[in-house]
Structure 1
Amino acid sequence: MNGSNIQTDDFIQTDNLALTHWVWLEQPTEKHVQSRSVTSVRLPQLQRDWLKPIRQWLDRIEITNAEMARSICKLIPAQCPFERTVKVFGRTLFHIPPMCKLNPVYEQVVGLRFRALCYLADVCGEDVTPYC
């Protein structure tokens, strides 16, 4: 071959790379199937949620005064600060989706902010629109 790409239905060759088809080098036997099933049963028992104590701690935080509630509402944004729509001359170039859902404690943080807003509205009787 002269270094050019040749493509057919069965064969792709690019310089030094040739892939004709997939082949199992070792067929699974009864022993392999049994050992895999035993391993898969043990695996979930070994997994541990390392963030569970942090999630529980955030869920247990009680809002006890208005100043604490105001601080939480100011500290935790109402919307994801990373979401952006990039426009040039009125035309949208691209959109960056919200990344907050990737945060492993997102639900707990949003719940804490909600509890703070509820405390300000229900207990203190404050207008919470400045925090929304």
Structure 2
Amino acid sequence: MFKLMSLRNIVCQWLDAIEVHDPKRAQLLCKLIPASCPFERDLNLFGHTVFHIPPLCKLNPFYEQVVSLRFKCLCFLADECGEDITIYC
């Protein structure tokens, strides 16, 4: 169990340490990392919501780091490159 937690911490630190300096890489990461959870759904039957599947992304142990990386990329594109980032939202 200890080694698993250690590995998780190493991956979290690695994701946190990624710096963005390349516009192409930042654009790619913004396209690959979704702005909202792709698993959240409403199941409708005859126009009425029958079942709601909640967002499951927060179950991912690296969720915070991945969202932070996407935010870094968006900030880099907007602040450093002057790019319109509304296409990624």
The answer to whether the superposition gives a TM-score over 0.5 is yes
Q: TM-score, normalised by structure 1?
A: 0.63
Residue of structure 1 equivalent to 2:86: 129
Residue of structure 2 equivalent to 1:69: 26
Select which of 63, 67, 73 maps to 1:116.
73
Structure 1 residue ranges without an equivalent (≥5): 1-45
Identity rate of aligned residues, in percent?
Answer: 59
Provide the rounded CA distance (Å) in 2 between the counterparts of 1:55 and 1:47.
15
- SS of 1:51's partner is helix
**1:1-132 alignment, distance < 5 Å:** 47=2, 49=5, 50-132=7-89
What CA RMSD, in Å, does the superposition of the two structures yield over aligned residues?
Answer: 1.2
Structure 2 residue ranges without an equivalent (≥5): none
CA shift for structure 1 position 88: 1.4
CA shift for structure 1 position 65: 1.1
Provide the rounded CA distance (Å) in 2 between the counterparts of 1:117 and 1:89.
39
Provide the rounded CA distance (Å) in 1 between the counterparts of 2:47 and 2:81.
43
Matched AA of 1:78: A
Q: TM-score, normalised by structure 2?
A: 0.93
Aligned residues: 87
Matched AA of 2:61: P
Q: Point out the structure with the larger helix share.
A: 2
Largest Rg, 1 or 2: 1
For CA contacts below 8 A with separation 6 or more, give which structure has more relative contact order.
Answer: 2
Residue of structure 2 equivalent to 1:28: none
Provide the rounded CA distance (Å) in 2 between the counterparts of 1:124 and 1:89.
47
Matched AA of 1:107: E
